Amino acid sequence: MKSLLFVGSNGFLGKNLLPHLKKSYQTTTLDRVNADINLDITDDNLQINKSFDIVFHAAGKAHSIPKTEEEKQVFFDVNYEGTINLCRALEKAGVPKSFIFISTVAVYGCDFGNNIAEEHPLNGNTPYALSKIQAEKFLTDWCEKNNAVLTILRPALLAGVNPPGNLGDMIKGIKKGFYFSIGGGKARKSMLMIEDFAQLISLTAEKGGIYNVCDDEHPSFRELEILISKQLGKKPPLNIPYWIVKPMALCGDLLGKKAPLNSSKLKKITHSLTFSNQKAKDILGWQPLSVLENFKIS
């Protein structure tokens, strides 16, 4: 079995993916606590004492909106500087044959659009997106210099047990009865089952490349609402027509950032944002899992 270092193993991805990886790799975990190697990648003096065939770098700062300059800087400290520190430590321990980096579709900077491919400009301007773009650029140079095969995976919204972010908020809202469907829930969003990463690691380890990763279906909000409601034993959320919600969003624009709904948020909810996975399917022969068939809340 090949050896694999899982960086960021305590996160949402790690909790869902680790059982699958341990079946195929001699897996060593690295995180700040409760890992085989307890280290913080923001440490400039990061030290790793052994080499690995594959490094799977999933550590990162996400799922929050920074309110201060200090909070913005944390994204760069973790996602960019942390990646540099990790690579410097790997140079001393032994450069891996393969480096797999978990980036994000946020690098494209798109709030809506359909079938966005890897050739799209990297227009992301949030601290999260910019820090990931910088890390991608650093790793491209570093892996070329050190003769390591680089894979950059840009996942869409991740689906797995106890998800964070917007999907987690949807589940909580439906469970408590506070969630409402807007405009029929027709907008579609690209998603990816976390278990797919296990297959993607084996497919990309020797080939490398940059790939969007998501399933083929791009579920609609309504499809997700129905799926989640069924698993919770709840009725699907009531639908609120768009013309009723629009004035509420305009009021939110006047109230500022604290408003639960504004025109920007409404646009994201009612406009599709999907990405093309064709490159990964063509080059890797990858067949993604269906989110609607495989996503389980618990």
| SS3 annotation, the chain | CCEEEEECCCCHHHHHHHHHHCCCCEEEEEECCCCCEECCCCCCCCCCCCCCCEEEECCCCCCCCCCCHHHHHHHHHHHHHHHHHHHHHHHHHCCCCEEEEECCHHHHCCCCEEEECCCCCCCCCCHHHHHHHHHHHHHHHHHHHCCCEEEEEEECEEECCCCCHHHHHHHHHHHHCCCCEEHHHCCEECEEECCHHHHHHHHHCCCCEEEEECCCCCCEHHHHHHHHHHHHCCCCCCEECHHHHHHHHHHHHHHCCCCCCCHHHHHHHHCCEEECCHHHHHHHCCCCCCHHHHCCCC
Say how many C-beta atoms besides its own lie within 10 A of residue 205's C-beta: 21
Q: What is the per-residue pLDDT for 258?
A: 65
Which class does domain 3-161+188-216+274-294 fall in? alpha beta
pLDDT in tens, 64-115: 778 899 999 999 999 999 999 999 999 999 999 999 999 999 999 999 999 9
Q: What is the pLDDT of residue 257?
A: 63
Low-confidence spans in the chain with pLDDT less than 50 = none
Beta bridge partner(s), residue 30: 7, 37
pLDDT, residue 60, reads: 93
Model pLDDT, residue 146: 98
**Domain residue ranges in the chain:** 3-161+188-216+274-294
The residue type of 53 is D
